[in-house]
Amino acid sequence: MEALRWGWGVVHRSVRRALGLQVTVDTPDRRVLEGRILPHYAAREDVREVLFVGTRWYTQPYEQLFARQRYVTLEIDPDAARWGSRTEHVTGSVADVAQLFAPQRFDVVIFNGVFGWGLNERSEVERTVQGFQRVMRPGGELVVGWNDIALRRPFPFEEVKALDGFERFRFAPLGVPVWQHPGGTRHRFEFFRRR
């Protein structure tokens, strides 16, 4: 029965994509991201510029959510540019974020599904987090989402030394500084504020 539900889901999403209709990925982490995290930032008056790192077909609707803000996307894969921001998409490595954007530009950076999915080298992760600190305004917020399983954990994220430029904070809609799904991918969201 589970395989039948999964198969129907694949067919349903494929047909919707072919028709140009919005498609979502229905997983616990996506429900938290799309139902709690992104709407929170989209509704805040003090959030004017958002950097979203990593684009795929299922992230395309996020631009509509951030219609009031300047929504900027960054993705290393040039073929994925079609799912990025229509007003400002940059193709490049997130490790070069400090060279790609002006200092203190962003109020929020959403960095989900990149650590452990291509950004695996410690030196590049350090450079990325240092770059985030440079391109975020003081008090800006960083959301880091990653899978806490051996296959997708090059090293514990909390070992990143560049996190010294940030402090954890309790994300009000979830009431915690770290949210982790207990099963499957053990996806976790960590919330940081630039010092």
Residue 121 lies in a domain: yes
Q: Distance (Å, rounded) from C-alpha 141 to C-alpha 40?
A: 12
pLDDT tens digits, one per residue of 95-122: 999 999 999 999 999 999 999 999 999 9
Query: Domain tally for the chain?
Result: 1
What does each C-alpha distance from 123 to 67, 145, 184 come to in angstroms?
Answer: 35, 19, 28
Residue 82 scores a pLDDT above 60: yes
Cβ-contact 123, 161 below 8 angstroms:
no
Residue 178 lies in a domain: yes
The sign of the CA dihedral 8, 146, 77, 122 is negative
Residue 13 lies in a domain: no
Residue 5 lies in a domain: no
Domain span at residue 126 reads 27-194
Report residue 2's pLDDT band, with 50, 70 and 90 as the boundaries: very low
Q: What is the DSSP letter of 78?
A: G
Residue 180 lies in a domain: yes
pLDDT tens digits, one per residue of 128-172: 999 999 999 999 999 999 999 999 999 999 999 999 999 999 999
Which of 155, 144, 148, 186 is CA-nearest to residue 29? 186
Q: What pairing do the DSSP bridges indicate for beta strands 49-53 and 106-112?
A: parallel
Residue 105 lies in a domain: yes
Residue 172 lies in a domain: yes
Give the domain CATH number at 126.
3.40.50.150
Cβ-contact 140, 84 below 8 angstroms:
no
Residue 85 scores a pLDDT above 70: yes
Residue 32 lies in a domain: yes
Structure tokens at 83: 């799912």
